A and B are shown apart, each in its own frame.
Chain A
């Protein structure tokens, strides 16, 4: 009989309509500004610079410009310093005099994070970044980009713990060769 197919479809919509009051997977929306879902651990959107202790001197970035070169949409702009300053481990290193990221160009691909050999740049979880000004407001400067390692631990706990372990291992490996040559000649004399 003509019309039964339509009625069957109506039964499905009715089932979904009433079901949405009782079953959670039939209604998955949340009332956004009031209700917020927690972001997954891996969530990423824009890069930031990690620092230890001090936001100016503790920046891990050594201005090697690899991220600037590899960034597919070319949204990173770095000016290398002329002098060297001791970094967070006390070793004299170059530092970025200027480090800008144009987040209106950034496409959140996290290639800068992958290529960074110093674990200096990581992905942030901030959103709701709308600005009233169109150009300079979206060009994020170094002081605004610098965020503490604690903040990194807060937003990506698992990944940050891994990074810290890697850095500690690298530091230990670097320290070890120094005492061994000093220790090796000792028995000879």
Chain B
């Protein structure tokens, strides 16, 4: 199943949580959905699942809206915040309450619980669960229907390193079976090893969407610039469309070469105190992209 986000916009009062966002989640791939806190990731997922009504645009699964799919949990497994549990309800009962929606029996509930490593906690009330255990239970619920799409909001939240590695292999395995997988995170480094594609948003707007390898190619080309007048240089970056990231007195600029920057500044009569090429991590590419979007709005 292919997931298409089509010109999705969601306003909460005066806040545009999601702003004309479009991208696709391909079957057979793990897509990382990245953005800083408040970027609109959860809002996008909730809109996709018909939990909130978009102001404009929509999200479709092979052309259908969530509510138009019969037995949607058999096609789409989604886990949002880790707090959607009744604290007095036992883990197994949480699954049993959802089981009729996918026609699953008790044995299937026990199987997924065991799969996510909660076999021993099946009879415990969820109120006694740790954050990581809740995350695992949420994941168990998504797997109950053997879905073709997985939408997971910050699935690594609360997981120990072993759990994160386990999650990664699970996501890879689901994708290799043809599942379309979307995982949100506010840290690129957290999902870097698990994803094929990246979609980066900030302030509700799309900043970047490409295979991870293309983003990786953009890393390594970064120039550190210390201008005499910061404001003038910032305006120049904006008009030229260069991605930048302020650090101390200087700017880390992604995209143009040091040579190009030096030339343009010369032409524009901008005095520079320092201009040096640096190699750059994937994470700082991500920072530069999201920060620019935030500053521009």
To the question of whether A and B form a pair in one complex, the answer is: no
Footprint of A on B, CB under 8 Å?
A: none
